[in-house]
Amino acid sequence: MIRKLAMIGFTDNAAKRISEISEALPPGTEQRFYRKGQELRSFVAEAFRDCDCILFVSAAGIAVRSVAPFIESKDRDPAVIVMDELGQNVIPILSGHIGGANEFACELAEIVGGRPVITTGTDVNGRFAVDVWAVKNGFVIDDISKIKMISSAVIKGEPVGLYVEEADERIRGSIPEELTLVRDGENAPEKGIYVGVRTGCSPFGETFRVFPKALVLGSGCRRNGDPGNYERAVSTMISDAGFSVKAVADLATIDLKKDEACMQMFCAGHGIGMIPFTPEELMEEQGEFHHSGFVLNTTGADNVSERAAFRAARLAGGGTPRILMERTALNEVTAALCEKEWECRFDV
């Protein structure tokens, strides 16, 4: 579903299509309209930063030239769609999969009674699209340049493996026929998809990694800590433990630290939330946690990083979280990692 849509047109017929779409969009959809006399380049630049979809009701050439200066990468660019001014053809031209342009084009085509023109290889061949599947699961793609490797193999009918951490407990739905589930100790195809939170597991000769946002970072730091030092320390601790920052969903801490600029900047930089807890809430957690008398006297909780990560993971995923990285300290920063429950779905 489109959340923020920018619409651009230059003719009376284009204005009719835009009005038709605007009236049919679900309540709450943020809409932006290019107005005659506005500077097109500035409008497109702002839409690229803020919107998840840009619709040109115009010739395709105008759209291509307008967005070309702002294109960055598959995982950052918004969906860009072109519709002719009569609404007959609706064509995604940028971010068809990760950005959702193919899906959005189908939604817009239904509104105007037009035809979505989809050109991506896996779609026209009716094959499994790994990037679409990853986005629908909320997984983070580690290296987007390897999407082509998997998509090419799928289209050619080459064997593609699938390795999921604790697959029997986590896979939901039927695995597509293009993929072969591989477990530990089994022979694996040369190319395959790894789903998990670890960076050191390489089940295939060429591995395409996707990370579920399944890790909760519990952390503490010295008062008024340097943001650069905090970023380096946390990233180093997570990496040395064999995990990816990309798999972190939230940062949990004690409420005394919720205003620390270094933590706030870390969260903003990685697109994650901050979850503060009171000392009393942290001490409610039952489990095996490291104890520090000094921390207890200072904060009211005997361990911030482990207890905070554990509590946030439990509340988010249910069940009993697993501490994957116990309290670790580096350069006046402490960190711990918990894994909350997650699923690998093929029924989305």
| CATH number of the domain where residue 91 is located | 3.40.50.11220
Instruction: Verify that 12 and 109 share a domain, yes or no.
Output: yes
Split into its structural domains, the chain has a count of 3
- Reported as a single tens digit per residue, the pLDDT across 236-292 is 999 999 999 999 999 999 999 999 999 999 999 999 999 999 999 999 999 889 998
pTM of the model: 0.82
Residue 246 class from Cβ within 10 Å (0-12 exposed, 13-18 middle, 19+ buried)? Answer: buried
> Of 260, 298, 301, whose CA–CA distance to 283 is shortest?
301
Report yes or no on 17 lying in a domain. yes
- Judgement on whether residues 219 and 207 belong to the same structural domain of the protein: no
Domain boundary among 181, 211, 241: 211
Tens-level pLDDT at each residue, the chain (348 residues): 899 999 999 999 999 999 999 999 999 999 999 998 899 999 999 999 999 999 999 999 999 999 999 999 888 899 999 999 999 999 999 998 989 999 999 999 999 999 999 988 888 778 999 999 999 999 999 999 999 999 999 999 999 999 999 999 999 999 999 999 999 888 899 999 999 999 988 999 999 999 999 999 999 998 999 999 999 999 999 999 999 999 999 999 999 999 999 999 999 999 999 999 999 999 999 988 999 898 898 888 999 999 999 999 999 977 788 999 999 999 999 999 999 999 999 998
CB 109 within 8 A of CB 85: no
**What residue numbers bound the domain in which 252 lies?**
215-339
Contacts by 140-143 with C-beta closer than 8 Å and gap 24+?
140/210, 140/211, 140/212, 140/213, 140/246, 140/247, 141/75, 141/98, 141/208, 141/209, 141/210, 142/208, 142/209, 142/210, 142/211, 142/244, 142/246, 143/208, 143/209
Structural Rg of the chain based on CA atoms = 23
| CATH label of the domain that carries residue 289 | 3.30.420.180
Same domain, 199 and 224: no
Q: Are residues 326 and 279 in the same domain?
A: yes
Instruction: Please indicate, yes or no, if residue 129 is contained in any of the structural domains.
Output: no
Residue 273 lies in a domain: yes
Does residue 347 form part of some domain?
Answer: no
Task: Note whether 285 and 226 are same-domain residues.
Answer: yes
pLDDT on residue 254: 96
Same domain, 233 and 165: no
pLDDT attached to residue 335: 97
Whether 17 and 57 have beta carbons less than 8 Å apart is answered as yes
Burial classification of residue 60, based on how many CB atoms lie within 10 Å of its CB (0-12 exposed, 13-18 middle, 19 or more buried): middle
Looking at the fold, whether 186 and 201 belong to one and the same domain comes out as yes
* Residue 305: predicted pLDDT: 96
Q: Indicate if 224 and 331 belong to the same structural domain.
A: yes
pLDDT of residue 104: 94
- Of 211, 243, 265, the one marking the end of a domain is 211
How many CA atoms lie less than 13 Å away from 66 in the CB half-sphere? 29
126 lies in some domain: no
At 123 the pLDDT is: 80
Please identify which residue in the block is written with the tokens 């990468």: 73
Same-domain pairing of 221 and 332: yes
> Among 88, 119, 150, which residue terminates a domain?
119
Q: Is residue 125 one of the residues assigned to a domain?
A: no
Q: What token pair was written down for 117? A: 């023109």
Q: Which of 220, 200, 249 is nearest to 327 (CA)?
A: 220
